[in-house]
């Protein structure tokens, strides 16, 4: 994941304003990447695999929004 690599290369700070970037963005990227690996390794690049990945990605988004706003 390019966002995760750039997060570590920039030491968790914005390139322009040098303000810290929240760890939750990295966690969301890693979680989505792991779930995409699981869904495509289990179902392959098939319509079922794409549907499972889309469901998992939407659950990640909904979960992080829920954690942020309760």
Q: Residue 17 region, left (φ>0) first, then alpha (ψ -120 to 50), else beta?
A: alpha
For tokens 């390794």, name the residue: 41
Phi then psi for residue 14, to 5 deg, are -65, 140
Nearest to 55 by CA among 4, 43, 70: 43
pLDDT at 1: 55
- pTM of the full structure: 0.80
pLDDT at 23: 85
* pLDDT mean for each 10 residues of the chain (70 residues): 82 87 88 95 96 96 93
Q: Do 38 and 57 form a contact (C-beta atoms < 8 A)?
A: no
């Amino acid at each position: 994941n390019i966002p995760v690599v750039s997060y570590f290369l920039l030491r968790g700070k914005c390139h322009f304003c040098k303000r810290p970037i929240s760890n939750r963005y990295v966690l969301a990227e890693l979680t989505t990447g792991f779930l995409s690996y699981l869904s495509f390794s289990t179902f392959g690049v098939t319509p079922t695999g794409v549907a499972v990945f889309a469901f998992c990605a939407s659950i990640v988004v909904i979960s992080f929004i829920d954690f942020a706003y309760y």
